[in-house]
Structure 1
Amino acid sequence: MSVLELLTHGDGVSRSVAALLLAMSVASWVAILQKAWLLRSGTRGVLRSIAAFWQSSSVTEAEQKLKAFDGPMLVLPAVGAVRRVADDSQATTLGSAGDRGQRLTRSLRDALHGALRRLQGGQILLATVGATAPFVGLLGTVWGIYGALAGIAGETGGFTIDKVAGPVGEALVMTAFGLAVAIPAVLAYNVFGRVIGRIEAELEGFAHDLLATFGEPAKTPDDALPPARVMPV
């Protein structure tokens, strides 16, 4: 019996389970393709953007360069945070309260959290599909076996193996469907998790370097000199 015939002859529960598995498969593959593109461009873009930033002569020039490399917008928000902190030094809002290092820390934290939300998008979906799809398929199998045994019990005549093997084998197809949906989602979740971890480490290191470089106000030449010692007469 083909899959179409199996769904045609199945009851409402079997069709609902098959429709749910199909929806989970489509959703997981859409998430896999989108995240594969994001992480592929993000991995190269983050490394190139960080290198281009430190080779620039100013933050404004760095922002212009990064627009060509940072398509997923993972590094640009952190650079924009540095520029905003430098521009709002005379602001009178609560966001401008505190010294330069505190304001930059807050802005970099918000930028980093936004980048991580984009990187983590779809991971919960893949984890959910990978964890629940086998059980959904198992539900369809159990229900199919129950229906097959109930139909055989209502028939007259002797018990033969062919009356059980056919319906039970058709019901086991649902378990195979569930595994076919879950396996790609689990593999993608694990692979993407490792790539996200590497990108996250690069972004955190870059944010730390920005804070160390731009967190303190620039010193004047007089500040750089040691205090004069008063010699006793």
Structure 2
Amino acid sequence: METSQAFGLAHLWAQADLVIRGVALMLLVMSITSWYLILLRIARQVRARRFDGAVEAFWSAPDLGQGLRRLAQQAAGSPFEALAQQGAAAADHVRRHTHQGSLGSTLDADEVITRALRKSIALSTASLESGMTLLASIGSTAPFVGLFGTVWGIYHALVNISVSGAATLDKVAGPVGEALIMTAFGLFVAIPAVLAYNWMTRSNRLELSELDAFAHDLHAWFSTGSRIVPLNELQGGSSTPASIRPATSGAA
């Protein structure tokens, strides 16, 4: 019992040199950073659930101004609100600078709106991917950091055993086992980071696909005054679904 109590985390830290302590602190910082990013993303996903239905509320609005206000109320600060605001600003810019005979009359409205929507999507993509590079780096390097600590710890344990001249199993197992704890720490840091990175990647892909679909509808609306009607709705017998009639009339 006394021998088993002589080994453990406290004993490892007490007899560790600066390298082992530095590796342990590095893994601790990496773990705190990864969990901070994970919790931030979870909080963002919880907020994003409140955005459900905001796009349909936008399209069911009687006019563009009311639609933007509904987005601001139901999805404030979301990529969808930013996209609609950017598209509306671009359409208004083209409308105000296309007077006959002016340089602005040569502007291609379709190109201006497309560039504005692409810019908004690019900014939203950068925001969604913020921190993911760091998370991927932690997930890929943490096991090797822990392995380095293990190798260093085993080396010093074997040196101390050779100096003492006691190479029995009970003298070897304790120090080597303590050194292997560093590998376990590395895996403890890496596994949540890798799982969170895969989850974030999938979540970003789904959100960006929805944002891209919204951008296509906005582009069609600002360019033609009518939202693209899904084929299944057209086959249902209504060429102008009620959900987009107000938006179409608002454009006119």
Shorter-chain TM band: 0.7 to 0.9
- Quote the residue 1:143 is aligned against: 152
What CA distance in whole angstroms lies between the structure 2 residues aligned with 1:96 and 1:31?
48
**By how many angstroms is 1:217 displaced?**
7.3
What CA distance in whole angstroms lies between the structure 1 residues aligned with 2:46 and 2:8?
38
- Quote the residue 2:170 is aligned against: 162
Are 1:101 and 1:216, in contact at CA under 8 Å, matched by a contact in 2?
no
**By how many angstroms is 1:104 displaced?**
0.4
TM normalised by structure 1 equals: 0.85
**Of 32, 39, 42, which aligns to 1:36?**
42
The runs of 5 or more residues in structure 1 that have no matched partner are 219-233
- Quote the residue 1:187 is aligned against: 195
- 1:6 and 2:15 aligned: no
- Quote the residue 1:62 is aligned against: 67
SS of corresponding position for 1:56 = coil
**By how many angstroms is 1:216 displaced?**
4.2
What CA distance in whole angstroms lies between the structure 1 residues aligned with 2:104 and 2:153?
61
Root mean square deviation of aligned Cα? 2.2
- Residue-pair matches, total: 216
- Quote the residue 2:4 is aligned against: none
What CA distance in whole angstroms lies between the structure 1 residues aligned with 2:147 and 2:122?
38
1:175/1:133 CA distance change after superposition, 3 Å: same
- Quote the residue 2:229 is aligned against: none
1:136/1:3 CA distance change after superposition, 3 Å: same
SS of corresponding position for 1:215 = helix
**By how many angstroms is 1:153 displaced?**
1.4
1:96/1:139 CA distance change after superposition, 3 Å: farther
Are 2:90 and 2:113, in contact at CA under 8 Å, matched by a contact in 1?
yes
- The 5 Å alignment of 1:65-214 reads 65-89=70-94, 90-91=96-97, 98-156=107-165, 158-214=166-222
Deviations 1:38-96 (A, max 9, x none): 12322551x4221111011222111211122214421111111222123213349x999
Are 1:39 and 1:119, in contact at CA under 8 Å, matched by a contact in 2?
no
Give every structure 1 segment of 4 or more consecutive aligned residues whose post-TM-superposition deviation is greater than 4 Å: 94-97
Deviations 1:146-180 (A, max 9, x none): 00011111123x52111110100000000000000
The runs of 5 or more residues in structure 2 that have no matched partner are 1-6, 227-252
What CA distance in whole angstroms lies between the structure 1 residues aligned with 2:110 and 2:72?
26
Deviations 1:124-167 (A, max 9, x none): 122111111101000000000000011111123x5211111010
SS of corresponding position for 1:75 = helix
- Quote the residue 1:228 is aligned against: none
Percent identical = 42
1:208/1:215 CA distance change after superposition, 3 Å: same
What CA distance in whole angstroms lies between the structure 2 residues aligned with 1:105 and 1:57?
24
- Quote the residue 2:31 is aligned against: 25
What CA distance in whole angstroms lies between the structure 2 residues aligned with 1:78 and 1:98?
21
What CA distance in whole angstroms lies between the structure 2 residues aligned with 1:91 and 1:5?
75
Are 1:141 and 1:173, in contact at CA under 8 Å, matched by a contact in 2?
yes
